[in-house]
Amino acid sequence: MYNKLFFDSSKNIVENAKELRQRQTKAEEILWQFLRNKNINGLKFRRQHYIKNYIADFYCSEKMLSIELDGGIHLNKEQIEYDEFRTKVLNELGITELRFTNEEIIENVTAVINKIKSELNKL
């Protein structure tokens, strides 16, 4: 049985996650202000959290919810295929994944927060 927090991540993935925490995107900074300190439904979110061979932008282990923010690179064919495979792997671990574009966060973070709350209520 996997630990539902880390799922046996490699040391390399752990180091990459630490590095990513130092280089947040504008959209990640905005969303983190809403997710941090148990601001949503009293649930703890982690940023740049490692799960097996992947790094989730944000992760709530209590509800097993991963939140991904996608920039322009996620529109190319290879990245779309990779993202679909990654989502499948996470789903097999029992993790629900929500994806938002950076633009959604920057332009209407309130709608994004409402979608996150709605999903958390279902889980």
Closest of 102, 96, 99 to residue 30, by C-alpha: 102
Instruction: Take residue 7 and report the two structure tokens written for it.
Output: 């799922």
Beta strands in 2-118, from DSSP E residues, in sequence order: 46-51, 54-60, 65-70, 96-101
| pLDDT higher at 28 or 72 | 28
Q: Is residue 19 part of a domain?
A: no
The CA distance from 4 to 71, in Å, is 27
Looking at the structure of the chain, the number of domains it has is 1
Identify the CATH number of the domain in which residue 92 sits: 3.40.960.10
Q: Is residue 9 part of a domain?
A: no
Whether 51 maps to a domain, the answer reads yes
For 13-54, the pLDDT digits (tens) are 555 555 655 667 899 999 999 999 999 999 999 998 888 888
CA distances from 60 to 24, 44, 47, 63 (A): 18, 6, 9, 6
Q: Give pLDDT tens digits for 7-17.
A: 655 556 555 55
